[in-house]
Structure 1
Amino acid sequence: MVEKMKFISIVGPKEEIDRVTSQYLSRYEIQLENTLSELKDLKNITPCADSNPYRGVLARAEELAGRVREIGNAAPSGKRMETQAAVALTEELYAELEKCRAQKSGLEAERKKVVELLVNIRPFQNLHYDVASILHFKHIKFRFGKIPVESYSKLKEYLMDDICTIFDECGRDENYIWGVYFVPAAEEEKVDAVYASLHFERTFIDDDYEGTVEEAFEALTRRQKELEESLAQIEDSFQEKLMARGGEMLAAAETISDSAEYFDVRRLAAFTKAKDTVFFILCGWMTREDAERFEKEIEGDADVFCMVEDGKNESLENRFRKPPTKLKNPRIFKPFEMFIRMYGLPNYQEFDPTIFVAVTYSIIFGAMFGDVGQGLCLFIGGMLLYKFKKLNLAAIVGSCGIFSTIFGFCFGSVFGFEDVIEPLWLRPTEAMTTLPFIGNLNTVFVVAVALGMGLVILMMVFHIINSLRAKQLGEALFDTNGVAGLVFYGAVAAVVVLYMTGNALPAGIVLVVMFVVPLLVIACKEPLTNKLNKKKELIEGGKGMFVVQAFFEMFEVLLSYFSNTLSFVRIGAFAVSHAAMMQVVMMLAGAENGGTPNIIVVIIGNLIVLGMEGLIVGIQGLRLQYYEFFSRFYKGDGREFKPYAKAAKSS
């Protein structure tokens, strides 16, 4: 059902708005609206021009609180912290964090430099020579780097004696040899070209080393370790300070978050000045129950005034925006609200079809997928998945499984075996009914069409109710799904039933009244509605165009009645096809003539049918809901009730 809403307006001094928000609005579900838009007829009201002063400190508080949660299992102190105290604590600890970051930044830059030096010099540890001396040679040039193993072999075998160079090998692996080569300054270009042709990759060594390569490497390794210890010590020192007040910090973060959210309420408020006092105005929607409790609670607050609109003199939707929609259904039906939301929420005046969808969808699914064993599998699997994952679709599958089991008993089918139990009703592939003029027809098809005709009539009743709720009398009386359509379609259904059951048909004059008159009323819907609404122009576009348009519309109406009714044949068709598919599984398992079935084939066949046909039947059942049912009575153009964030979190 759609909960009844009330429109409330709250007025008080501007300095009280945060208190009202925290004391009242945070404990109730209220959808706040933009006051300037809702109360546009009021004059001398202005929006809030102040920026939220808590946004910057909120980001810092959340960062600190996140660090507290990462470090340990700290919990909020439990005491309500004043906003200013929370801000002061946050700024104090964040200043410590910035100090820690500044110290770490310098040490990390040095550590990065040390790591780079280590990476560059690591392959040359076997070079037992003072690095600084090499880097300051004047007449001898040097090149640190690596050369592929196969290139080094060519160098030693063919070129070493022909060029003025000395290569000092410092280390090797299976692919490369690291080392340094020396060359006279006069020969450097020629030798560099030779080494380049041999794929020598140069490593550039900075002038930051002391002693031999081995000594420099050891010194840099010690420095790296010292830097890492210093960094860890700084981080640990800050974490100790933070965790010493971890509970307070978590409470401060909550307080600042609340304060920031309370301040944001001002953006939806309007402000007006009376004498020397500035007042705020807040407005929004509450459920009737919450509004009554809120109104009673606020009576004792001398600084705040609340006005509740109950719509007795003038409908709310005419004075304000369309009321939002909040669905309230028994827990067993709530998962089916998913289907309603997929199509669109009912508007405030519409009938909520959740319970109807839950019942009809489950029954239709069960009728198309009747099997005791597979139905129990769907029920158990769906309920377990819903219990642990809270998936609405899983609950829907479980509900459908119940009705699949029920129809399985009606059809006498257990995992496709037709000889385990006797059907309580009939077997879909065998039961036939003899109808006048048509002859023999599968009984399930006949029942499916009859069920469909009954449901179409019910949809017309729903349409009439919705139209009357929306005060659209013309729609309720003259529409194809209104009273005129109900009389016509109901008369057709009655005549078909009487004819098929061998009873006498009504007199000709009665048939004319029941068939022709409603169609004429439907054809004249536009002028009749305009007449009802007291419009001067009854027909727009001329009488000739109206007649042509009415003729084709009548043809479309009659065709839609016929096609919509036949659409329900799919229920019987899937019931028969399910039984037929399981017969194929039994045949493949070798059980069609009473033989011992192959259990593996039976299990695999049931799983395939359960997955494939279950999905198809589920989609077809949803199609019937959307196209055959909702298209007749349901608009789904409502806007969702979205309560103020703090209430939404606590609810």
Structure 2
Amino acid sequence: MIEKMKFLSITGPKADIDRVVYTYLSRYEIHLENALSELKTVKDLRPYIESNPYKEELAKAGELVESYHELLPEHTDRKLKLEEAVDLIHALDSELKELTDKKSGLVGQRDELQASRDKVAPFNGLNYDVKKILGFRFMKFRFGRISREYYEKFYAYVYDSIDTVMFKCEENDEYVWVVYFVPEKLADKIDAIYASMHFERCYLPDEYEGTPVEAGHILDDRISAFQKEIDGIDKEIVEAISSRKDELVAAYFTVRTFSTNFDVRKMAAVTKHDRHNFYILCGWMTQKDAAAFQKEIERDDDTFCIIEDDHNNIMSNPPTKMKNPGLFKPFEMYVEMYGLPSYNELDPTILIGITYSILFGFMFGDAGQGLCLLIGGYLLYRFRKVRLAGIISCCGVFSTIFGFLFGSIFGFEDIIDAVWLRPQEAMVNLPFIGKLNTVFVVAVAIGMGIILMCMVLNIINSVRSHDMEKIYFDTNGVAGFVFYLALTVVLVLYMTGNALPATFILVVMFLIPLIIMFFKEPLTAIVEKKSERIEGGMGMFITQGIFELFEVLLSYFSNTLSFVRVGAFAVSHAAMMQVVLMLAGAEAGGSTNWAVVIGGNLFVCGMEGLIVGIQVLRLEYYELFSRFYRGSGRAFEPYGKAAGEQ
């Protein structure tokens, strides 16, 4: 269902806008519209231009809350005045900035030492003072690494033939770290030979004491000392936040509320008078809130409210606020995914809730698995408010019902009797077709009923939007409804062996709707009293009409057969569970492997449940929504109570 909306114009002295916002509007849900756009015909209006004085404090508070959200509660009952909130934000921001700057300096020094530590670590095998090596004057040295492949080739074929001393240090699966020494005069030649072996040089800074192992220990101690200081600062930051966590959250909500309230000016207009200026706010409220608001300001001499009932005098379209019973609220998610209904359109939430659950239950009929979906979905929705879980829980109800109708519980079909039929066994004889699975016939019959219902809904929506073509001449309008209803009745009579209506009646019921759909554009022009010019001539009009009519007949056929999948999945579900029980040995008469039964049930419940859910959603969107639903509405986005909630 869609809430009834009222359009309000609120006005008062310009200087009084903050009081009105804090006293009234912050406690109601109002969808504000730009007053200048709504009041285009009113002269001497200008925008309300003032910079937000709370912008800086809100940014600081938001940054603090975002940075330390894991230490803060989501809600608090603590309340702060604006001055207290601003003072707290500035004090805490200054304190934390000092600590974080100090921490950043220490982290930088620690990281530099860690980089040095990482550079010297691969040379732990060199048992010589690094600083002395770095001080050599007549002997060149090179620290670096070579891939294992080239190291072995170099050591086997080149090393003994050149004037160099190489010390092997650490190694792994890819590289060998080495230090080689070479006389200064031969350095260029030897370096070239090593370079040809893909030697990658490492440059060590001049800050090591002792051998690489000793230098590593010294660096580790210095790194640990810096880390200890960093940990101490982290502890101070946590204590600073934790000791004032409720105050910080309260300060953030206080400043956010004041900032949001101040930003109402962006939507307001102001009269152009020298002395007595007035603000004007325009927006939508629910009928209930509008009545309560108007009653509340009756004794307020500085605030005036006019409710506009004539929508022809309103520039904007009413926003959509859906209000459905709690059982169907999760299904609003599917409606929102397709598009919100416009204000004058039928809300399909209850329809999708009923049809989706029934079709899912039909395709996934198992009392045991359905009960698991019901309980699991309910608990998840109850404690985590996951809307998809609420949908799963509703589907679980009908899965359980159809499980009893099909006599299936966790795949076992010998525990309870089928109240209705067993999907794999039930067959029916049909004229012209022969034997056919009963669930296929029932699925198609359900589909035809749903299609007819959607045509009725399309006619209602079209009447509300005053669309003559879609009311009378469309494939889902009156003409299409009469044709498809006649087709449904004839099929039912024929399949049940009853006599068909007279030929004249069949001609009227089939031919006339097709002719109306063929000439829908000229007929619409006549009804709306507009001149209709046939583009391309009569020949092109007839040719195009024939192809469109053929497409319409083909779509009726394909859309109807699309519901066969409902019966197909009911059969396949039973077949999959039969395979699970066969693998578990439950059908062989021997001992049952319960691990296979449990695992198989979990697998089927998860995999087929997902597939069935997607297939039913496809049916909803393509076979139901496409017939009657426009989904061109805009969301009701309230300022005030919803915007200022903690």
- Shorter-normalised TM range: 0.7 to 0.9
Match for residue 347 of structure 1 among 337, 342, 354: 342
Which residue of 498, 521, 526 maps to 2:521? 526
CA change 1:231–1:639 in 2 (3 A) is closer
Instruction: Name the CA shift for 1:364/1:195 in 2 (closer, same or farther; >3 Å).
Output: closer
CA shift in 2, pair 1:398/1:197, >3 Å: same
Deviation at 1:467, TM superposition (A): 0.6
Match of 1:635 among 606, 622, 630: 630
Identify if the C-alpha distance between structure 1 residues 373 and 18 changes in structure 2 by more than 3 Å, giving closer, same or farther. same
Q: Could you say which residue in structure 2 is the equivalent of 1:307?
A: 306
Deviation at 1:439, TM superposition (A): 2.6
Change (3 A) 1:566 1:92: closer
TM-aligned CA deviation for residue 382 of structure 1: 2.2
Match of 1:609 in 2: 604
| Shift of residue 326, structure 1, vs aligned partner | 1.3
CA distance in 2, matches of 1:223, 1:585: 63
Q: Does 1:477 pair with 2:451?
A: no
What is the deviation of 1:392? Answer: 1.8
Runs of at least 5 residues in structure 1 that lack an aligned partner in the other structure: 149-157, 164-171, 182-186, 210-218
Give yes or no for the alignment of 1:369 onto 2:364.
yes
Matched, 1:537 2:532: yes
SS in structure 2 at match of 1:274: coil
Code of the aligned partner of 2:272: K
Distance of aligned partners of 1:302 and 1:505 in 2 relative to their CA distance in 1, 3 Å threshold:
same
Does 1:564 pair with 2:564?
no
- 1:529-587: CA deviation from partner (whole Å, max 9, x where unpaired): 11111112364543332222222222111111122122222222222222233333333
Is 1:427–2:422 an aligned residue pair? yes
Residue in 1 aligned with 2:282?
283
Contact 1:590 1:598 in 2 (8 A): yes
Q: Residue 42 in 1 paired to residue 42 in 2?
A: yes
Conserved 8 A contact 1:448-1:571:
yes
Determine if the alignment matches structure 1 residue 452 to structure 2 residue 447: yes
Q: Secondary structure of 1:621's match?
A: helix
Amino acid at match of 1:408: G
Equivalenced residue count is: 627
| SS of 2:577 mapped into structure 1 | helix
Once structures 1 and 2 are overlaid, which stretch shifts more, 246-255 or 467-476? 246-255
Per-residue deviation at 1:518? Answer: 1.4
* SS of residue matched to 1:484: helix
Write out per-residue CA displacement over residues 242-272 of structure 1, whole angstroms, 9 at most, x where no aligned residue: 9888766654443322222222222222222
Tell me: CA distance 1:454–1:230, structure 2 relative to 1, closer, same or farther (3 Å): closer
Quote the offset at 1:599 in angstroms: 3.2
- TM-score, scaled to structure 2: 0.79
CA deviation profile, 1:344-390 (whole Å, cap 9, x unmatched): 11111111111111111111111122222222222223223333432
Cα distance between partner residues in 2 of 1:491 and 1:467: 22
Give 1:491 shift: 1.3
Q: Among 484, 488, 501, which residue is 1:489 paired with? A: 484
Which structure has the larger Rg over C-alpha atoms? 1
Counterpart-to-counterpart distance in 2, 1:371 and 1:272: 68
Shift of 1:202: 7.4
Match status 1:503 vs 2:498 = yes
Contact 2:106 2:230 in 1 (8 A): yes
State the distance in 2 between where 1:121 and 1:562 align: 77
- 1:442 corresponds to which residue? 437
**Correspondent of 2:575 among 570, 580, 600:** 580
Does the Cα contact within 8 Å between 1:57 and 1:87 map onto a contact in 2? Answer: yes
* Residue 415 (structure 1) shift: 2.4
CA, structure 1 residues 121+303, in 2 after alignment: closer, same or farther (shift >3 Å)? Answer: same
Q: Which string of whole-angstrom CA distances, capped at 9 and with x for unpartnered residues, describes residues 124-173 of structure 1?
A: xx999xx9xx99xxxx999999999xxxxxxxxx9xxx99xxxxxxxx99
Match of 1:8 in 2: 8
Alignment correspondent of 2:254: 255
Contact (CA 8 Å) 1:346, 1:352: kept in 2 or not?
Answer: yes
**Secondary structure at 1:536's aligned position in 2?**
coil
User: In 1, Cα distance between the equivalents of 2:495 and 2:67?
Assistant: 77
The answer as to whether partners of 1:144 and 1:204 remain within 8 angstroms in 2 is: no
Shift of 1:635: 1.3
3-state SS, counterpart of residue 518 of structure 1:
helix
What letter is aligned with 2:279?
F
Query: What is the distance in 2 between the residues matched to 1:616 and 1:115?
Result: 52
The 3 A distance-change label for structure 1 pair 144 and 118 is: farther
In structure 1, how many angstroms separate the alpha carbons of the residues matched to 2:385 and 2:343? 28
- Equivalent residues of 1:34, 1:269 under 8 A apart: yes
Give the corresponding residue for 2:394.
Answer: 399
**1:77 touches 1:250 (CA, 8 Å); kept in 2?**
no
SS state at 2:327 partner:
helix
1:621 aligns with 616
Whole-Å separation in 2 of the counterparts to 1:647 and 1:507: 62
Deviations for 1:301-327, whole angstroms, at most 9, x for unmatched residues? 2222222223xx4457xx322222111
Give 1:466 deviation, angstroms. Answer: 0.6
- SS of residue paired to 2:277: strand
Confirm or deny that 1:328 pairs with 2:323: yes
Q: Which range moves more in the overlay, 3-12 or 268-277?
A: 268-277
Classify the secondary structure of the residue corresponding to 2:638. Answer: coil
Q: Distance in 2 between matches of 1:556 and 1:74?
A: 56
Letter in 2 for 1:373: G
TM-score by length of 1: 0.78
Gaps of 5+ in 2: 146-159, 210-217
Corresponding residue number in structure 2 for 1:154: none
Q: Distance in 1 between matches of 2:73 and 2:579?
A: 60
CA contact (8 A) 1:370 1:404 kept: yes
Deviates more, 1:548-557 or 1:323-332: 548-557
8 A contact 2:260–2:644 mirrored in 1: no
1:127 and 1:244 mapped to 2: Cα distance?
53
Q: Could you tell me whether the CA contact under 8 Å between 1:26 and 1:644 is conserved in 2?
A: yes
Per-residue Cα deviation, 1:466-493 (whole angstroms, up to 9, x for no partner): 1111122332111111111111111121
Cα pair 1:47 1:271 within 8 Å, conserved: yes
Question: How many Å separate the matches in 2 of 1:6 and 1:70?
Answer: 42
- Give, in angstroms, the shift of residue 465 of structure 1: 0.7
**Which position in structure 2 is the counterpart of 1:52?**
52
Contact 1:370 1:406 in 2 (8 A): yes
- Take 2:422 and 2:231, find their aligned partners in 1: how far apart are those partners? 77
Residues 166-177 of structure 1 correspond to what in structure 2 (within 5 A)? none
Aligned to 2:150: none
8 Å CA contact 1:531, 1:538 repeated in 2: no
Specify the SS of the correspondent of 1:332.
coil
Q: Match of 2:8, SS? A: strand
State the match for 1:387 in structure 2: 382
